């Protein structure tokens, strides 16, 4: 009997439009879905989530083959996409729905996420505390179709969003 070669990883890093491309089209990545997780409203809409009243985070759910792309590599790719010291959102996206978080699906993922966060804290890269949350996976709701693969459907708007939000500059200055 062949082992199931697919696992899930869920990351919040501010606007989900900017969190798909870094993980997309890499060996072992089977799919990425933008959506909402961590809140109390069932089947929320974007209009509801963006108010900040549902408790949901904007997230990307990644289906991956751990034999080809281990979870540790996902973490190594996740951290440099965010400002891990910001507990009010990410870049110009403010509010709880834009906070950074790692949602773990297994105890192994939890341990690896906690270890990677601790290593980042010990590295001295940032003067401020690392506040990115590590939370148990919660029900996931896919975002509306127009949010999926946004960077492919709207490449100019995607580039503009990364620059105007301050994300591009932050990554360049802090994650060389």
Selected catalytic residue, list 8, 9, 12, 15: 15
Dihedral, CA atoms, 44, 141, 171, 95, nearest 10 degrees? 20
Contacts of 89 (CB under 8 A, 6+ apart): 14, 95, 96, 97, 98, 99
* Integer Cα distance of 117 and 47 in angstroms: 32
15 tagged catalytic: yes
Report the DSSP pairing between strands 140-142 and 89-90: unpaired
Active site residues: 15
């Amino acid at each position: 009997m062949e082992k199931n070669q697919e696992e899930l990883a869920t990351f919040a890093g501010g606007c989900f439009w900017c969190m798909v491309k870094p993980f997309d089209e890499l060996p072992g990545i089977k799919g990425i879905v933008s959506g909402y997780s961590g809140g109390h409203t069932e089947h929320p809409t974007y209009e509801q989530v963006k108010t900040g009243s549902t408790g949901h985070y904007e997230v990307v759910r990644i289906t991956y083959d751990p034999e080809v792309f281990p979870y540790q590599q996902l973490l190594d790719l996740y951290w440099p996409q965010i400002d891990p010291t910001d507990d009010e959102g990410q870049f110009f996206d403010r509010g709880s729905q834009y906070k950074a978080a790692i949602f773990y699906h297994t105890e192994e993922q939890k341990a690896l996420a906690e270890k990677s966060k601790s290593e980042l804290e010990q590295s001295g890269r940032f003067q401020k505390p690392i506040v990115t949350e590590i939370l148990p996976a919660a029900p996931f709701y896919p975002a509306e179709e127009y949010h999926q693969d946004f960077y492919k459907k709207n490449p100019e708007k995607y580039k503009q969003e990364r620059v105007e939000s301050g994300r591009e500059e932050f990554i360049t200055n802090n994650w060389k």
